[in-house]
Amino acid sequence: MKPAASGKLFLRLEHWRSALVQGVLICGFLALTGRAFWLQAIHSDFLQHKGEERYSRILSEPASRGIIRDRNGQPLAISVPSESLWANREDLDMDRQQRQKLAAMLHENANDLSHRLDGESGVVYLKRQLSQQEANRVMALKIPGLFLQHGFHRAYPRSSEMAHLVGFTNADDHGQEGVELAYEARLQGLYGARRVIRDRAGHVIEDVESIRAPRQGEDVWLSVDARVQHLAARELHKAIAASHAKAGAVVVLDSRTGEILALVNSPDYDPNQRIRLSGAELRNRAITDTYEPGSTIKPFTIAAALEAGKVQPDTVISTQGGVLTIGNHRIHDDHVADAYTVTEVIEHSSNVGAARIALGMPPEMMWNLFTDVGFGQKPKSGFPGETGGRLRPFQNWKPIEQATMAFGNGMSVSLIQMARAYTIFANDGVLQPLSLVKGGAHQAGRRVISAKTAREVRAMLETVVSKEGTAPEASVPGYRVAGKTGTAHKVERGHYVNKYVASFIGFAPASAPRLVVAVMVDEPSGGRYYGGQIAAPVFSALTGEVLQLLDVPPDNDVPSTVVGRAMPEDHPT
């Protein structure tokens, strides 16, 4: 800094420094000019979008799920309009009194609500599936920052009767169990979208355009008959209550097509009210649970021997006074007899007779038939959570294992597997695939045994329901009935315990079968636990009503009269 001639000081810069400052300023102005030209002339969409964000919004338009119907069109699951309440924390403004009123309307603790609303920004859902009346009461509080979102929630008109079959959806309307989950892709609709203009408070003041129309979900028609389902649920619950049992299940099939007409479990639940449900209530026992089938497996052992030509229905089998010793193991019958015909082995449910017949053929022969009817494999019913049960390879069978497997020990099955397997006796040897959807692309049945063998076993199964058999209480007035009882010890921690599974699986009318009905009762108590005592009466009451409901003509002119009590099956060893 130097003094001027006038005596004043002045700042003298080097020429290059002033040029640099001017250059920087000019470059800055050019950059701003270029950016402005880019945004306003070339890339004007950016500013337009930012401006529209202040007032324009794209809202989703909900689509309802398809209706689930029974085979006659009765709705089993429907979508009901509802509202979801949400809050934008940035705009939320309410005092303590309003917060308490809101908490009361939402049936929530005020402190819990405050905790959920804590935060500087963001969106939080406060309550889903509000009815229109509840939503109107909430919005009448006129709290800034609270908004409604229109949608749907599922309702189940048949309540607990259809719970395990139909299943349910979650808060986002996505299937979680049963048919709702299995057919999610068909039932779930496609949300639409529309552009709207909102005011500063967030209220829609104008619809601008529809971007995409919502597409409603597709209806699903099940093979199930709601009337048959109701009857099955009623009879099962009566049996559970009368026997003080832990649980139970019933499956009803159309024996000609494999269509599932009813599937019921107990305990059940109300899918409209799912608060504090336990796993036991949610389990679809007929599909996911396995048990040792007991004597209900004997017809398949006999069928394998008949197919191999090892026995005939009147072949005499030595039962050695009701005791068979294999190594260190003993198999016994409750009823002492020196010999039974093959038919009588089924009629009196002889464990010794079934074991001797099984040991008279190669293990592979027995395993092949068990595998052909679906044991050890998932039944492919279309339900989530199917189990295949347990059937070990025949190469590992010891003689005692083959003998006990002949009467249902050492293997496990699901009830729906057993119901399907019995279609070979009702259809002259043809195994029917299971079907849950009405009019679906049904696969053709597959022949497993000859028609001759199937008819011979069917005739044997009719004797089970006679006065001398193990299940006279399964008889149905006016109809010929064929079936088999089962009473099996339960296995806990690898050991048999004094708890039982009672079952009966049969079909009617025996002359031209229309129905296969499988009944299983888990842990009956009170001194009665045989399949002929517990499960057979359920079969009788249910089958009789369903046959009349379907207008199936009687095939038995002789009135059915139950005399005495059922002959008990032998306990598994």
Residues known to be catalytic: 295
State the number of CA atoms in the 13 A half-sphere of 380 facing the CB.
11
Calpha distance 431→446 (Å, rounded): 5
The backbone region for 217, taken as left when phi is positive above 0, alpha when psi lies in -120 to 50, beta otherwise, is: beta
Task: List phi, psi (to 5°) of 294.
Answer: 65, -145
| Cβ 63 vs Cβ 172: under 8 Å | no
Helix (H, G, I), strand (E, B) or coil at 370: helix
Calpha distance 283→300 (Å, rounded): 28
Q: Hey, CA dihedral for 341, 346, 350, 354, is it positive or negative?
A: positive
| Cβ 342 vs Cβ 312: under 8 Å | yes
DSSP secondary structure letters along 390-404: B---GGG--HHHHHH
Helices (H), 253-398: 279-282, 285-288, 298-307, 342-347, 351-359, 363-372
* Cα–Cα nearest to 220, from 439, 61, 383, 384: 439
Residue given tokens 């701003």 in the structure block:
32
Would you call the peptide bond into 509 cis, given omega within 30 degrees of 0 as the criterion? yes
Beta-carbon neighbour count of residue 303 at 10 Å? 24
Calpha distance 500→491 (Å, rounded): 9
Residue given tokens 């049945």 in the structure block:
445
